[in-house]
Structure 1
């Protein structure tokens, strides 16, 4: 559910006197935060530790049984193991909160509880608010504990219930607030909150549009009607009810007479027309534009019962905009950068960067691009995002600035979602020494193209995450599946695969659907969730489908190279594919990481380290970094730099404790260092996740060609309590129990 990041008790805002009784402020909506009176962060590092704190915070300050906590956070472990893990996390939580200087948590033999007098929780204000207090709540536009999703299946289920409870309560508050409002300002405030919680709330859309008309803001009302039509269009087959469609149609057909709406406080039916409970509302007076009469006998200002109109009567304006947005792929315009120095030389760079970005995004294949004379003509009259949205159906605009100062060039790029009031969803700044123009363009373009397609995909994934699958088109199903895959959880991956199968059934020629399906299958293979031979065949089939449908798509050859290396243990063949892929798409950050994977197998560690560094330079926080960062621990381990490997491994394992391929090199590292306790913890986790043959398959899958490297990995694992004899790659049995491919 979407909830705002700024919700906090009024008495707990910055600047509190030190005498205030509340010592810990918890923000669970949006990005999780835990701060003291001095604004010092005491947020624990681990996801399980944060989950423990969140459960206590959302339990109404009532004691929570240890057995319940263990069940929510370690549902896939035995009761004894879960209780042992809970004791360890309690210790970590108390240690993280120790800077507060007093006990915030009451720890009993069987229960834990937050002390109510000493702590405040943002979600509580919403839960405890009544309709009279709703107006004082800040905008609610974040997701409750989104970063904890995927920590454990039981916790996911519990979080879904908590989000639903909080969302339903909040919607009820603001629906009541909207019913009671008779002034325009209050109506608009309630409508805004409702639309943050439910983007298809028809009563809220009508109240917002009518409130803006009552204020004389015809242009803003028109934009609001466009956003409403776009919101419903994104659901493909879903359309608003007759009354909403009638209102939208009148505005989208022509808004010349829109100013004839009466003021809200003199027309109670404006608020009353918001049928918040879905009941039919009273007929309303609908003005039409002179010169663009509707297809019926009604004249300007006539009283119309929306339910009695023929479809053609209220469909034209709505469907005209709907057709521009229902195609699935996000629509992007790349604008020339603004030269703040206003120099001819830099104007050339600004246009050149825009052209390079357009060329790169065309090859990505996951967006539609607006370019050509129509865009230039529209911009010649001055930029107006509402006009761009109305005329072209745009979703995103990529623009930025270019400035020279002190012998350096600063470029700032930003991606704006014009469907969401011009919200900036991605931004990047580049500070580079002044030099060759083409070199600068190439450097910036490569980094932007490495990140931007993924960032757009993540924004679209978050936007569609809570929508029912039945309401999504083929591309929407793919976008929704992405968020599930990134959690590296078997149940979530099952959900992703189901969505992707539906997407392919709707449009079997959508290359991105096959690309993301191949990624989902690769994760399953690396985790040994299914038979490796079956998953190897599935990965091959999906990757072949990508290349058959569009051999130019960015990522198809990269995925093929990674599969050759990690699934079929053919690093030499993988490098040939990857070199070809990177020659065509040097911005493919995952391609450089895949090169490092193959070179680690071949023992070319220095080259692997260079390519891995290039990958991290292009995209430091790649969404798949938990999987792609494995060479960062393998390289120092095989070089004998165990302290470096342990430091990196600890971070990777903390980020995704359930990703088995990272546990193996980390466990070997701990064995070499003699860290018995930590090695036992990681070994137990690995053995809980995988059966013995699964661990053996995973270890053998390393495919190390250099004898010294195989021995180093084997020795480390043996010292950590796992004895396996690593086979030499190429032996008949195969390194992964998968038959090697001929050729």
Structure 2
């Protein structure tokens, strides 16, 4: 029975479908009677595949042309697309009906008349995913090397399918009550991700419950080999505890810790000696480079491409997070590697992540004048079958290379850091090495949820006890203190700022050239009235010496903000956001962006930005306050302010901080010019908040803030201020 003859889980099979499209493996198209009507041309099949993978949404002609003819001019690409549309219509003509909705500006497959095999998997749920047959072929295996842009799209679609199936099978492991089905789900996860510890633990436990010790020991050795081959290390302590129990049960020797096999509990080992004897790895992962030859035979392009790779490598090395294999490294290990592990980390062929890039001349258009360069960058995780971690395509003038490359560096560090944080998500806190704890803290801070800030702070506190001079840990700790301070008040806020200044100054002592560190320290100092002069001087120096680095633009916006140049600060920040719409710093500094928009008189932009951010993080007082000021300003200037929305924001503020008042709110901005503080006070007076006392000091909720900072969190840690704080075993 063909795959198309299987009813799609959760969905009714349509009797009206007359075209069946197969994408798992080589592209194929069949009529109801099984007659093959697959187009012969690769571009025609590519056009059909793009439409079939679009979730039945229309795909613009421009997007289709860019994917299939990226090396041609726009006019030539559009003409070629028109020809392929006719070829596809001819190939499908035996159906006797139009299955493609051809519109003026877009195309789409008609959902009622067509079925697509991969949709069964993309729409599967944890309850029914195990009913689907295993995938044996590569998605769209016949469409590689048709066009560079299509190759990029193919990688993204394969990654999309890959990640969806892993997530769905992982959920099935939890959903299924039948042990055999849990084992099946875990086994299928491991076919996609050999380093998935949750899946390995499920396999080992279920085999142990069967009393199948032989198979369990074989699985244990496979697990150990997978981690040693990919990472040069063993799996986490919880997994090792299960393996240890399996071997003990087989050999009859007792173990000092209770067995998790009987209960299935995910418990860490209480034997800390092995953790203490294991040296902390210097990096969380290794990264190497490869570049495709420029499409144009141009020596200058090749030279620029090599310079870009060197610049990215140099930038990545400054973060001290990744072991960077130089772009021109040979495929073998370097002769200076002084251990097997170091040799593995310096070997480009064994690197964990791969940065691939291609440089070419962009097609000349009104928005891309003659001489514009196009850079395509992709980062893949080689341990997980080449899954794409991050990818981008940018067009720029050669004079702007440094600016774009600096943005690419921080994006790569960010995406790799979050990918590594996800890889240890199943481990308990006491299993984490210091750098892994820093990664988890960074991942927590990206949520924008104040309720997890203390957990992140505690992770970093204990990581720094073990690695007090690690640049990455110091940078994340300073950033965490800054973000915490944005949601705190008065005395507690000042404590967080001072802590942030302390660790960031330490960062610049151990890594004096850290641009991120200088920008962060400048931002922290600007917020402290007595230190503002030093913050301004630091940011001015940074602007003059590193003007081509994108992060410096954020620092320049801060400097202009503190000097009362609000319109100029807005222009600088807006340019950064336009150039790097997905840059992680736009989310981390979202309250600063909102403040700049507001003070620049861009009330509508401020309100829109606040709504977007609050839809994700609704409990942040820094955003709620400024959003309220923006709405009140809109209302005062005759703009489209919504009184119901103002009331809702005010009520949310009172729920989070019952003693909130205008004067306490304005005290948060003592570093701003008097005109800015007066504006904020006047705006908030139109919001309905009480004025309050115009005196600095503790508010009623400061004591609560102090208790949160020193309290016990979900990780099981106590805050840094508590005596006898629980220290993770790996960091003692």
TM range (shorter): 0.5 to 0.7
More displaced stretch, 9-18 vs 328-337: 9-18
**Residue 334 of structure 1: SS of its match in structure 2?**
strand
C-alpha distance in structure 2 between counterparts of 1:223 and 1:144, whole Å: 17
* 1:441 aligns with one of 394, 401, 414: 401
Q: 1:557 to 1:524 in 2, by over 3 A?
A: same
State the 1:453 CA deviation: 1.9
Name the counterpart of 1:398. Answer: 355
1:343-363 CA-partner distances (Å, limit 9, x unpaired):
322211121211222222232
Change (3 A) 1:323 1:690: closer
- What whole-Å deviation, never above 9, does each CA across 1:21-43 have from its counterpart, x for those lacking one? xxxxxxxxxxxxxx9996699xx
Q: Is residue 634 of structure 2 the alignment partner of residue 673 of structure 1?
A: yes
Aligned: 1:127 with 2:127: yes
Gaps of 5+ in 2: 1-5, 18-52, 60-119, 137-160, 205-220, 252-273, 335-342, 365-369, 636-641, 703-732
**Residues 378 and 326 of structure 1: CA distance in aligned 2, closer, same or farther (over 3 Å):** closer
Deviation per CA, 1:493-539: give whole Å up to 9, x if none. Answer: 12212211221122222122122122222222110177223223322
| Matched residue, 1:661 | 622
Residues of 2 paired with 1:171 and 1:553: CA distance?
53
Contact map agreement 2:351 2:382 (CA 8 A) in 1: yes
Task: Assess, with a 3 A threshold, how the Cα gap between structure 1 residues 492 and 137 changes in structure 2: closer, same or farther.
Answer: farther
Q: Is the 8 A contact 1:596 1:631 kept in 2?
A: no
- Equivalent residue, structure 2, for 1:153: none
Question: Separation in 2 of the partners of 1:716 and 1:10?
Answer: 56
User: Which of 464, 470, 488 in structure 1 is aligned with 2:424?
Assistant: 464
Instruction: State how far apart, in whole Å, the 2-side matches of 1:324 and 1:225 are.
Output: 20
Please state how far the C-alpha of 1:562 moved relative to its aligned partner: 0.8
Task: Report the alpha carbon displacement of residue 176 of structure 1 after superposing the two structures with TM.
Answer: 4.3
Please give the alpha-carbon distance, in whole angstroms, between the structure 1 residues aligned to 2:481 and 2:289.
Answer: 34
**CA-to-aligned-CA distance 1:7-30 (integer Å, 9 cap, x gap):** x981567995689xxxxxxxxxxx
Q: Alignment partner of 1:364: what SS?
A: coil
User: Paired residues, what number?
Assistant: 515
**Is 1:415 paired with 2:379?**
yes
The reply on whether 1:575 has 2:532 as its aligned counterpart is no
For residues 94-243 of structure 1, what are the structure 2 equivalents within 5 Å? 125-127=125-127, 133=131, 135=133, 141-142=163-164, 167=174, 169=176, 172-173=179-180, 176-177=183-184, 191-192=190-191, 195=194, 198=197, 201=200, 225=225, 227=227, 229-230=229-230, 233=233, 235=235
Larger mean Cα displacement after TM superposition, 611-620 or 580-589 = 580-589
Q: Is the 8 A contact 1:593 1:628 kept in 2?
A: no
Change (3 A) 1:370 1:678: same
Q: Structure 1: state its 5+ residue gaps.
A: 1-7, 20-34, 42-119, 147-161, 180-187, 206-220, 245-274, 283-318, 380-386, 738-743
| Superposition deviation, residue 376 in structure 1 | 6.4
- Write the distance in 2 (CA, Å) between the matches of 1:722 and 1:123: 48
Give how far 1:683 is off: 0.9
Q: CA deviation at 1:608?
A: 0.6
C-alpha contact (below 8 Å) 2:631/2:646 kept by paired residues = yes
Cα gap change, 1:703/1:16 in structure 2, threshold over 3 Å: closer, same or farther? farther
* Cα 1:228–1:173 shift into 2, 3 Å: farther
- In the alignment, is the contact (CA less than 8 A) between 1:514 and 1:546 conserved in 2? yes
Partner of 2:105: none
Match of 1:685 among 652, 656, 670: 652
Matched, 1:599 2:560: yes
SS class of match (2:615) = helix
- CA distance in 2 between counterparts of 1:191 and 1:693 reads 52
Instruction: State the partner residue of 2:464.
Output: 504
Match in the other structure for 1:490: 450
Q: For the residues of structure 1 that align with 2:546 and 2:239, how far apart are their CA atoms? A: 40
1:734 deviation in Å? 13
- d(CA) in 2 for partners of 1:239 and 1:232? 16
* TM-score normalised by length of structure 2: 0.59
Deviations 1:181-215 (A, max 9, x none): xxxxxxx857416847536717969xxxxxxxxxx
Describe the superposition over 1:35-74 as per-residue Cα deviations: whole angstroms up to 9, x where unpaired. 9996699xxxxxxxxxxxxxxxxxxxxxxxxxxxxxxxxx
Taking CA–CA contacts closer than 8 Å with sequence separation of 6 or more, which of the two structures ends up with the larger relative contact order? 2
In structure 2, how many angstroms separate the alpha carbons of the residues matched to 1:440 and 1:598?
A: 22
Q: Distance in 1 between matches of 2:242 and 2:601?
A: 70
| Secondary structure of 1:551 counterpart | coil
What is the alpha-carbon distance in structure 2 between the residues aligned to residue 389 and residue 603 of structure 1?
49
1:364-395 CA distance string (max 9 Å, x none)? 3322211287526789xxxxxxx987945521
Q: Give the TM-score taking structure 1 as reference length.
A: 0.58
Q: Secondary structure at the match of 2:126?
A: helix
Aligned mates of 2:462, 2:280 — CA distance in 1: 21
Give the conservation status (yes or no) of the 8 Å contact 1:676–1:720.
no
Provide Cα deviations, 1:104-160, integer angstroms capped at 9, x if missing partner: xxxxxxxxxxxxxxxx9989842367x7x37559977459999xxxxxxxxxxxxxx
Question: Relative to 1, partners in 2 of residues 1:642 and 1:697: Cα closer, same or farther, differing over 3 Å?
Answer: same
Tell me whether 1:710 sits opposite 2:670 in the alignment. no
* 1:552 partnered with 2:506: no
Offset, 1:167: 3.0
Q: Distance in 2 between matches of 1:190 and 1:626?
A: 32
Partner of 1:71: none
Alignment partner, residue 390 of structure 2: 426
1:603–1:706 Cα contact (<8 Å) kept: yes
Paired residue secondary structure (1:419): helix
Match of 1:650 in 2: 611
The Cα shift of 1:540 comes to: 2.3
Which aligned pairs between 1:75-86 and structure 2 lie closer than 5 A?
Answer: none
- Any conservation in 2 of the 1:236–1:473 contact (CA below 8 Å)? no
Specify the alignment match of 2:483 in structure 1.
Answer: 523
1:610 aligns with one of 571, 575, 596: 571
**1:353 corresponds to which of 308, 316, 321:** 308
| CA-CA distance at 1:720 after TM superposition | 0.8
**Alignment correspondent of 1:303:** none
CA distance in 2, matches of 1:178, 1:200: 8
Deviation for aligned residue 1:279: 9.2
Question: Against the structure 1 CA distance between its residues 371 and 647, is the aligned structure 2 distance closer, same or farther, given a 3 Å change threshold?
Answer: closer
Q: 1:639 to 1:15 in 2, by over 3 A?
A: farther
SS of 1:560's equivalent in the other structure is: helix
Which sits farther off after the overlay, 401-410 or 585-594? 585-594
Contact 1:397 1:415 in 2 (8 A): yes
- Distance (whole Å) between structure 2 residues aligned to residue 683 and residue 548 of structure 1: 44
Q: Report the CA distance shift for 1:229/1:201 in structure 2 as closer, same or farther (over 3 A).
A: farther
Query: Is the contact between residue 238 and residue 427 of structure 2 (CA under 8 Å) also seen in structure 1?
Result: no
Identify if the C-alpha distance between structure 1 residues 543 and 135 changes in structure 2 by more than 3 Å, giving closer, same or farther. Answer: same
| Secondary structure, aligned partner of 2:383 | coil
